Amino acid sequence: MIGVLLVDDHKLVRTGVRLILEETSDVRIVGEAGSGEEAIEQSRALKPDVVLMDVSMPGIGGLEATRKLLARNPSLKVIIVSVHATEPYPLRLLEAGAHGYLTKDCAADEIVTAIRRVHAGERYITAAIAQQLALSAVSGSNGSPFEQLSQRETQVMLMITGGQSPQTIANRLHLSPKTVSTYRTRLFQKLAVSNDVELMRLAMRYGVIEEKTGTHPPRG
């Protein structure tokens, strides 16, 4: 039996995935979490085999949660289930150690297939994202300036564009405010922006955040 922890800040999404997995004979939901911090706590207590991880959530989010979970337990399998299908998300999360990446519009049976294959030691990346990553590798870039950010710079960028203050970011990532400021300056230089407003506009242009609200797109 494969024990799965569901991590998503939308209860409706968790309920939908639970209904899908309850139809299988070899997968059991061991728990649910609504944030990255809760995922770390629940994983420690419940010891799942596989974590289905959302990306955009309150707090540290899915990228940092994935990194922390795998640092604590390298044998744990993490599958990203997200609305984000463009960079910087897939590559950065796979670099952080995720074993699979699905989009939230995938078919129900693909979620089950991904869980089984990842649990068996394989990687599973949904076709559209796999093609995107392959084309990016061939061309050297998919045109997004966000590709050049490191994992930590990407995390800080996502938290800034999510409206979190430097002090809040420092507290949640267990960094000093000075270190957060250094990351902020560095990513501004790499992206050729001079302030948070310009960063927000660039992120909207490349689909990192939702244009009409200036916040993250539908949670994913």
Domains in the chain, start-ordered, CATH in brackets? 2-138 (3.40.50.2300), 145-205 (1.10.10.10)
Distance CA 78, CA 198 (A): 33
CB 123 within 8 A of CB 148: no
Q: What is the pLDDT of residue 219?
A: 44
Q: What is the pTM of this model?
A: 0.72
Q: What is the pLDDT of residue 216?
A: 46
Distance CA 103, CA 127 (A): 10
What residues contact residue 166 under an 8 Å CB cut-off, 6+ apart?
A: 177, 180, 181, 184
> pLDDT tens per residue, the chain (220 residues)?
999 999 999 999 999 999 999 999 999 999 999 999 999 999 999 999 999 999 888 888 898 999 999 999 999 999 999 887 776 778 888 889 999 999 888 999 999 999 999 999 999 998 878 877 776 655 555 567 888 888 888 888 888 888 888 999 999 888 999 999 999 999 999 999 999 889 988 888 877 775 544 444 444 5
Distance CA 104, CA 87 (A): 16
- What backbone phi and psi angles, to 5 degrees, belong to 110? -70, -35
Token reading at 170: 């420092």
CB 81 within 8 A of CB 105: no
Distance CA 166, CA 154 (A): 14
Please name the amino acid found at residue 205. R
Strand partners, 215: 210
pLDDT digit string (tens) for 66-92? 999 999 999 999 999 988 777 677 888
Token reading at 92: 């950065």
What residues contact residue 202 under an 8 Å CB cut-off, 6+ apart?
A: 145, 191, 193
Q: Where does residue 193 rank: exposed (0-12), middle (13-18), buried (19+ CB within 10 A)?
A: middle
Q: What is the pLDDT of residue 218?
A: 41
